[in-house]
Amino acid sequence: MSRLLLMGGVAVLVSSLGLLRAQAPAESRSVWDGVYTEEQAKRGEAVYQKECAPCHGDMLTGGESAPPLTGGAFQANWNGLTLGDLFDRIRKTMPQSAPGRLTRQQDTDVLAFMLSVNKFPAGKTELYRQSEMLKEIRFESKKPAAKD
Amino acid sequence: MFLRKAKNAGLLCVSVLTALGFIPSAASAQYKPKDTEWPSYAADLAGTRYRPLDQINASNFNDLEIAWRIKTDNFGDRPEYKLEGTPLMVNGVLYATAGSRRAVIALNPETGELLWIHGEHEGKRGGAAPRQLSGRGLAYWSDGKEERIFYVTPGFRLICLDAKTGMRIPSFGENGVVDLKMNDDQEIFPDLETGEIGIQSAPVVAKDTVIIGAAFREGMTPRSMRNNKGYVRGFDVRTGKRLWIFHTIPKKGEFGYDTWEKGSAEYTGNTGVWTQITVDEQLGLVYLPVESPTSDFYGGHRPGNNLFGETLVCVDLKTSERKWHFQLVHHPLWDMDISSAPILADITVDGKPVKAVAQPTKQGFLYVFERVTGKPIWPIPEKQVEVGSVPGEWYSPTQPIPSKPPAYSRNGVSIDDLIDFTPALRDRAKEIASKYHLGPVYTPPTVSKLEGPLGTLTLGTASGGTNWPGGSYDPETHIAYLYACNACVEPIGLVPAPKEISDLNYIAGVAGNEVQIMRGPGENAGADSPKPPKKRTPSQYVPMNVDGLPLIKPPYGTITAINLDKGDFVWQIAHGETPDVVRNSELLKGLNIPRTGQETYNVGTLVTKSLVIAGEAQVTTTADHPRGAMLRAYDKASGKEVGAVYMPAPQSGSPMTYMIHGKQYIVVAVSGGPYSGEYIAYTLPTAGE
């Protein structure tokens, strides 16, 4: 636990100094570390509303047969996994009528929008567009304890 | 290995037999399923989900371990994350639908070894289907010599397979196929390839008749008040010949036609039976739980009570002649459907034996009738309900409300139902609720207005109470076990439908937001993509939670045991671990919160000699287990939890059980979130292991 907290502290420090994200220890980052930008989330919203909202609802609350993409159940599903896992799920299976139809950039933007709706903080750099790199960002539903 | 391909009307089917000679043959006498088997979707045609097995019991449930497992990723051209099937186990073979192709697989029930697989490649017809993916299951039939498996493809074709080989039986229909879009007393529009009609439930075989209902797209935002109709048909199990059809929307001259004013029976559609059908073979009676008519939340284009929408209809198994009916909801406006199998129960009321049928519902009422006559066991009086003010809407001034048993889940929203862990949270919830119209069951939808109300806040509607997994029933003790979502809150608002989107006056939506056509999973999203969104203001986004905590107070999900002899509750428990978001909330630190259950609507139960067994449909991460869900067992007499076994993902299909060669197994479908579909079989360790 203490190791995690310490690493989280490093990430915040790096972020606040505006250093390149590649310089942060890869395993230290989580969705709480400002891993997307507001601008990216806005782009993602436009894609989401066109491609995803018909099933998942324009507020991400899900439909009768499509799960919500926000809220406790959604976050519990992904808690402890990585953004790479979530990205792969989107890439492999969405939109359901034509999986893989969207570009990596569009999928990444949608992911950024989902993070913003789920109230994970925005930062200064955009999300990676490759699953292997996104696997370095942990999805943690619970905000880490306050750092010194 | 044996591989054969067959062409049928341009559609390709593939069966692969992997272990020829491995499959047992049915005995030569008329085959009677044993109570160690699971021969139909709900265990039996009575919809009980009950087997009197007891090798797995309270003393050893925690010892369960995985006997075998099978991922369904490769049974289709993409993995599926919504595996809802319940397998069958009959005559030594386990059968299931699986994967995004809705393939049929036959497995060795002890080892999970694949015996054969059958898939239908339907091309555009399958891709355009309103109800895709693996479906809920299949049906088995045998005359003691032949064994057949029936299932319906996403493209709405009834397929008859040889249970031993997985090959189509050529003498059935046309080369083993009945095209269900044909011979339906209506022309499916716009064409057979893309015409909206399908089904995801398992066929029912009763005596020598295969019974098939129909399903459609989600009905909140239809493009038109006109749609195909969901008639129910019976087919000869040997030839595929249509034996009968029941018009769930009466044709001119038929009983009930006049409940559709202004000729609305002519064009209104849906009104199918998309869930499981129940049959009393002895009495020769079929029980049809009929869903909502076109447009779930706006009925202005279908004035009148709309028979047989949201009606339990009893018809003759041989002729489909209507014996009786009871409309649970007049002029449906809440998407209550009838969403699960009616349960046949031979009970004792006031000392007298009664053949009854009990209908669980989304609205949390259990309607209990004498099943030959349709007479309610306990009075179901018509009670006055609120009449709304949506322009053009037609309202029923009364609705039938059972006097007994009491509602087993919440079906209306009042301030008292809101989150109340702390006064501050209650205040926040009241603020959210103030934007909506509240009221008891059958409070009608409102037009959504920016200045309020944004809609009617409802419980016990679209995803409330009991949904497609249905309930369970113990025929020995006369107790029904019903899972229900108590907190699946649904805001229902209506907005004028832009003419380029729909020809209805109103469809579901939120004032200020772009009007969207809501789709179900797998629907074709290519051709008519909605327009880009208009800019929205933050005030229109009203989350149904308070800082992530559910808006409605616990219990979120329950199992209720109801004594059907008396109409009383025996027990009611919260089912499911307290969600992470509640357990870990900083706002609730220091509070002692008993297990809350979960806000999930699709939990199926299984009843055995001593246990009620149900998995969780939501993932949690606790000190006791890593991210996953638990399959829980309760003492069926008391509701006390007696064991739990870990699953890597939520239960997404209802559990079933069987016994073979002296060992009992429990099989459950799991999937969801990051976890693609998998059937997992649990059993007890062999002594000495």
Nearest residue in chain A measured CA to CA from B79:
A93
- The CA distance from B39 to B160, in Å, is 16
Residue B531 within any structural domain of the chain = no
The answer to whether position A141 is within a domain reads no
pLDDT at A100: 85
Instruction: Tell whether B98 is covered by a domain.
Output: yes
| Averaged pLDDT, B393-400 | 98
Listed in sequence order, the residues at least 6 apart from B598 whose beta carbon sits closer than 8 Å to its beta carbon are A73, B556, B557, B575, B576, B577, B579, B616, B617, B618
Please indicate whether, in this complex, the C-beta atoms of B543 and A59 are within 8 angstroms of each other.
yes
Whether residue A99 is contained in a domain is answered as yes
Q: pLDDT exceeding 70 applies to what percent of chain B? A: 93
The answer to the question of residue A93 being in a domain is yes
Over residues B496-509, the mean pLDDT reads 93
For residue B561, the enclosing domain spans 2-24+35-524+541-683
Chain A environment of B521 (Cβ under 8 Å): 55, 65-66, 96
Judge whether residue B375 has pLDDT over 60.
yes
pLDDT at B3: 45
* A27 close contact with B: CB closer than 8 A: no
Name which residue leads in pLDDT, B327 or B548. B327
Q: Which helix (H) or strand (E) holds B205?
A: strand B204-206
Q: For B672, name the nearest residue in chain A, comparing CA atoms only.
A: A77
Contact A64 B520 (CB under 8 A): yes
Positions of E strands within B636-674:
641-647, 656-660, 663-672
More confident residue, B22 or A8: B22
What is the count of structural domains for chain B? 1
Rounded average pLDDT over B111-132:
95
Q: How confident is the prediction for chain B on average, in pLDDT?
A: 93
The yes-or-no verdict on residue B269 having pLDDT over 60 is yes
| Helix (H) or strand (E) run with residue B243 in it | strand B242-246
Residue B550 forms contact with A (CB below 8 Å):
yes
Q: Is residue A14 part of a domain?
A: yes
pLDDT in tens, B545-575: 898 899 999 999 999 999 999 999 999 999 9
* The predicted structure's pLDDT at residue B541: 61
Q: In whole angstroms, what is the distance from residue B616 CA to residue B634 CA?
A: 13
Q: Inter-chain contact A50–B533, Cβ cutoff 8 Å?
A: yes
In a domain, A140, yes or no: no
User: Mean pLDDT for chain A?
Assistant: 82
Q: How far apart are CA B390 and CA B394, in angstroms?
A: 9
A145: contact with B, CB 8 A cutoff: no
State the residue for tokens 């067994």: B613
- Answer yes or no: is A148 within a domain: no
- How far apart are alpha carbons A53 and A113 in whole angstroms? 12
H or E stretch at B98: strand B93-98
CB contact under 8 A, A54 and B548: no
Give A86-114 pLDDT, tens digit per residue: 999 999 889 987 888 999 999 999 999 99
CATH number of the domain within which B276 lies: 2.140.10.10
Averaged pLDDT for residues A139-143: 90
The burial of B353, by beta-carbon neighbours within 10 Å (0-12 exposed, 13-18 middle, 19 or more buried), is given as: exposed
Q: State the smallest CA–CA distance between residue A8 and chain B in angstroms.
A: 19
Number of domains in chain A: 1
* Exposure class string for B583-613: b at 16+ Cβ within 10 A, else e: bbbeebeeeeeebbbbbbbbbbbbbbebbbb
Domain assignment present for A144 = no
CA–CA distance, B98 with B80 (Å, rounded to integer): 9
CATH of the domain at A30: 1.10.760.10
Minimum-distance CB partner of B521 among A53, A66, A86? A66
The whole-number pLDDT of residue B519 equals: 63
- The reply to whether B522 touches chain A by the CB within 8 Å rule is yes
pLDDT in tens, A28-72: 799 999 999 999 999 999 999 999 988 898 888 887 678 899 988
Say yes or no: ipTM exceeds 0.85.
no
- The residue segments making up the domain with residue A128 are 2-134
Instruction: Convert the pLDDT of each residue in B567-604 to its tens digit.
Output: 999 999 999 999 999 999 999 999 999 999 999 999 99
Own/partner pairs, B533-540, CB within 8 angstroms, 24+ separation: B533/A45, B533/A46, B533/A49, B533/A50, B533/A53, B533/A58, B536/B512, B537/B512, B539/B450, B539/B512, B540/B450, B540/B454, B540/B510, B540/B511, B540/B512, B540/B513
Residue A27, domain member (yes or no): yes
Tell me the C-alpha distance between A109 and A116, whole Å: 11
**Rounded Cα distance, A84 and A134, in Å:** 4
Residue B25's pLDDT band (boundaries 50, 70, 90)?
low
